[in-house]
């Protein structure tokens, strides 16, 4: 009988421990920066969704690509066609935090994640450097990396007759809150 009670308590305690170690986005922003000669533009989305589990170091982020807004309807349409968002609506990352993180510290800490980035149905193993900071509001995540469209078999679109640079800088900024039971 004691063993059973101990087992139940252990399960509940472990569940509670896991809750405290998981953080999910309440607000997240992703931005990509594109370049063509003599012209730069960016696309933004406020719909970055993410979960970080400090217990098992899992990092999971995704974005609905149709929410990206470049401020130009025609360009948005071309972008959606290029990314084939009807068939592949999400850009997503799933991986692990491979650097140490002290959740008891409120300092900005460098962080490194490794995992799979998937867009337009193609996957690639990537490594992303960024920062994590435990704040009063939650876990603040900032990161940026270069996405080469050709790695995902995406043909760079053209503006007028000039091809967009295949290297797109991606930036994310998200505040993750502890997952509540």
Partner 1 sequence: MKKLLAVSLLSFFVLNISNAQIERRRANPHAPVEETFLTKNIAGLGTVQLLEKGDLNSMIQHNFGDVKGGIDTFFGIDEGANVRIAFAYGLTNNINIGIGRTSREDNVDFTVEYRLLHQTKSDKIPVSVVFKSNAGIRTQKEAFPLTFQERLNFFGSVMIARRLNDSFSLQVAPMVSHFNTVVQTRANQKIFNTTYGLGLAGTVKLTERKSISFEYLPVLGNRLSNTKNHAALVYELETGGHVFQMFFMSGRWFTEQHLLTRTETDFFEPNFRFGFNVNRVFGLL
**Which residues sit opposite 43 in a β-bridge?**
32
Q: Are the CB atoms for 70 and 105 separated by under 8 Å? A: no
Work out whether 94 is an interface residue with partner 1 (CB under 8 A): yes
**How many residues touch partner 1 (CB under 8 A)?**
49
In the window 40-69, what residues touch partner 1 (CB under 8 A)? 45, 47, 49-51, 53, 55-56, 58, 60, 62, 64, 66-67
Euclidean distance between CA atoms 79 and 149, whole angstroms: 12
Could you say which of 26, 40, 71, 110 contacts partner 1 (CB under 8 A)?
71
Degrees (nearest 5) of the Cα angle 130, 80, 156? 70
Work out whether 90 is an interface residue with partner 1 (CB under 8 A): yes
Work out whether 38 is an interface residue with partner 1 (CB under 8 A): no
First to last CA, the chain: 28
Work out whether 92 is an interface residue with partner 1 (CB under 8 A): yes
| 71: exposed, middle or buried (Cβ count in 10 Å: 0-12, 13-18, 19+) | exposed
Euclidean distance between CA atoms 7 and 20, whole angstroms: 20
Q: Are the CB atoms for 106 and 135 separated by under 8 Å? A: yes
DSSP code of residue 124 = E
Could you say which of 18, 36, 126, 140 contacts partner 1 (CB under 8 A)?
18
Stretch that binds partner 1, among 5-13, 101-109, 128-136, 144-152 (CB under 8 A): 5-13
Chain residues binding partner 1 by CB under 8 A are 1, 4-5, 7-9, 11-12, 14-15, 18-19, 22, 24, 45, 47, 49-51, 53, 55-56, 58, 60, 62, 64, 66-67, 71-78, 80-81, 86, 89-90, 92, 94, 157-160, 179, 181
């Amino acid at each position: 009988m004691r063993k059973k009670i101990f087992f139940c308590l252990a399960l509940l305690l472990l569940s509670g421990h896991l809750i405290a170690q998981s953080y999910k986005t309440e607000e997240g922003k992703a931005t990509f920066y594109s370049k063509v000669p003599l012209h730069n533009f960016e696309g933004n989305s406020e719909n970055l969704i993410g979960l970080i589990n400090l217990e098992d170091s899992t990092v999971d982020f995704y974005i609905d690509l149709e929410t990206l807004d470049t401020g130009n309807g025609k360009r948005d349409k071309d972008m959606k066609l290029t990314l084939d968002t009807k068939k592949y609506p999400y850009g997503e990352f799933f991986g692990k935090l491979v650097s140490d993180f002290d959740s008891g510290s409120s300092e900005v800490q460098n962080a490194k994640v490794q995992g799979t980035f998937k867009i337009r149905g193609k996957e690639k193993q990537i490594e992303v450097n960024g920062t994590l900071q435990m704040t009063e509001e939650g876990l603040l995540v900032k990161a940026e990396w270069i996405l080469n469209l050709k790695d995902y078999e995406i043909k760079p679109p053209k503006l007028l007759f000039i091809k967009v640079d295949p290297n797109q800088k991606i930036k994310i900024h998200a505040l993750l809150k502890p997952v509540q039971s």
